[in-house]
């Protein structure tokens, strides 16, 4: 899936002794190592348009995200999730890290979770997808009547730069 950008833990530079120093120096203290991530961990970026008149309601509901939805997001191997808003374009920008091994299976579990489906129905009503053919968050990734995969409600974006 080209829209999934690999997340690689930052590599720590190794301390090198100074070539001009002939005097024995104390050994440098070991640096803490970053937590390892699965090799297939991905950062995912998405956009959708927010109806400007729904800004206050959208912001308010995200200040009080339902605990069942938060639990399901975490159970679906999604972490470091944020949504930003650009008032000039009315675009919402989502970014998160997927740390699981089977994205499609984890998204199917999310679609099967009743509280998440109700959450999506509520929040989709505030939004307009910019993805041609998108139907809803719930239908994203499923097979439509025409036998084709239904596009995501949120449009996936390509990551062009990442500095860990």
Residue pair 47/92 in contact (Cβ under 8 Å)? The answer is yes
Residue pair 56/63 in contact (Cβ under 8 Å)? The answer is no
Residue tagged active-site, from 8, 45, 62, 113 = 62
62 is catalytic: yes
Task: For residue 91, list its beta bridge partners.
Answer: 49, 86
Closest CA to 101 of 4, 3, 2: 4
Residues 6+ apart with CB under 8 A from 75: 109
From the CB of residue 123, how many other CB atoms can be counted at a distance below 10 Å?
Answer: 22
* CA distance linking residue 23 with residue 28, whole number of Å: 15
Tell me which DSSP letter residue 131 carries. S
Active site residues: 62
């Amino acid at each position: 899936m080209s829209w999934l950008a690999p997340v690689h833990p930052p590599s720590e530079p190794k301390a090198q002794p100074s070539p001009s120093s002939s005097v024995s120096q104390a050994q440098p203290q070991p640096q803490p190592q970053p937590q390892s991530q699965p090799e297939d961990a991905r950062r995912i970026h998405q956009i959708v348009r927010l109806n400007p008149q729904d800004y206050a309601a959208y912001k308010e509901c995200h200040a009080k995200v339902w605990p069942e939805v938060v639990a399901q997001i975490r159970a679906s191997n999604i972490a470091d999730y944020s949504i930003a808003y650009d008032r000039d374009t009315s675009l919402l920008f989502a970014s998160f890290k997927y740390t699981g091994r089977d994205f499609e299976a984890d998204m199917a579990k999310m679609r099967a979770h009743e509280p998440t489906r109700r959450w999506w129905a509520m929040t989709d009503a505030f939004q307009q997808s910019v993805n041609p053919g998108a139907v809803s968050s719930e239908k994203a990734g499923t097979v439509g009547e025409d036998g084709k995969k239904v596009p995501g409600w949120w449009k996936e974006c390509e990551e062009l730069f990442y500095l860990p």
